[in-house]
Chains A and B, each alone.
Chain A
Amino acid sequence: SQELEQSPQSLIVQEGKNLTINCTSSKTLYGLYWYKQKYGEGLIFLMMLQKGGEEKSHEKITAKLDEKKQQSSLHITASQPSHAGIYLCGAEAGSNYKLTFGKGTLLTVNP
């Protein structure tokens, strides 16, 4: 079965700093999804990457997919307290659009 490893597990940054979260798969990535979760709430979809080399951006968040490395990275530029939360990556694990998730990265942004 596919496993996703996220690094780091947790991250504390000062407001305004840049940061990167990585998601590495044990198998070939066919579709990679990034979600954000605030404590006590559901997951909010951020971005989906499907092709090797694909890069997508939304506001100050950029995600890239490196197919050869079976890895995706999520980069936040000039972090803000509103970016704080848990970031999870999910990958398609076969048919029926089942997703396997990483364990998440807890991001704290100090003002």
Chain B
Amino acid sequence: NAGVTQTPKFQVLKTGQSMTLQCAQDMNHNSMYWYRQDPGMGLRLIYYSASEGTTDKGEVPNGYNVSRLNKREFSLRLESAAPSQTSVYFCASSGRTGGEQFFGPGTRLTVL
């Protein structure tokens, strides 16, 4: 089992460009999450999907959109990237019966 996979691992964008971060899990988990991690700010929840077909805003959703494509995949889209979105992005998933979350390796995004 690969667990949680994320693509790409690194990305550099110019201000105003758009891109989609991909996340997939092979653990048959219902819930999936997108976080960003910034120095001094810790991990902050951007969006989450409690189950297939549902998505909800987290703590810092502005500037992002998400799609729960199916049970396995949960993507994060930046429509018009801004320098403030420079961060490390983590995807995570968890099973219905427990709160333990499994994290992907992260995507390092730089917006110039």
Q: List which B15-67 residues lie within 8 A (CB) of chain A.
A: 31, 33, 40-45, 48, 50, 56, 58-59
Question: In the complex the two chains form, what is the Cα distance from A38 to B6 in whole Å?
Answer: 17
Contact A92 B101 (CB under 8 A): no
Chain B contacts for A48, CB-based, 8 A:
98-100
**Contact-size category for A:** 20 to 34
Instruction: With both chains docked as a complex, state the minimum distance between the C-beta of B68 and any C-beta of chain A, in angstroms.
Output: 13
Q: Pick the most buried of B4, B56, B100: most chain A CB atoms within 10 A of its CB.
A: B100
Kindly state whether residue A63 has any CB partner on chain B within 8 Å.
Answer: no
Contacting pair B56 A43 (CB below 8 A):
no
Contacts of B40 in A (CB 8 A): 103
Q: Quick check: is B83 within 8 A (CB to CB) of the other chain?
A: no
A98 / chain B contacts, CB cutoff of 8 Å: 33, 45, 48, 58
Total residues of chain B contacting the partner, CB 8 A: 26
CA distance A98 to B57 in the complex (A): 11
Cross-chain pair count, CB within 8 angstroms: 59
Chain A residue at minimal CB-CB distance from B44:
A101
Minimum CB–CB distance from A95 to chain B (whole Å) comes to 8
Whether the pair A99, B42 counts as a contact (CB closer than 8 A) is no
**Are the C-beta atoms of B102 and A97 separated by less than 8 Å?**
no
Least distance between A6 CB and chain B CB atoms (Å): 9
Q: Which residues of A contact B58 (CB under 8 A)?
A: 98
Contact present for B99 and A33 (CB under 8 Å):
yes
Please list the residues of chain A having a beta carbon within 8 angstroms of any beta carbon in chain B: 1, 31, 33, 35, 40-45, 48, 88, 90, 92, 95-104
A-B pairs, top 5 by smallest CB distance, nearest first, are A103-B42, A42-B103, A101-B43, A96-B50, A43-B103
16 A-B pairs in the complex with CB atoms less than 8 angstroms apart: A1-B59, A33-B100, A35-B103, A42-B90, A43-B92, A45-B101, A92-B99, A96-B31, A97-B98, A98-B45, A98-B48, A98-B58, A99-B45, A99-B101, A101-B42, A103-B42
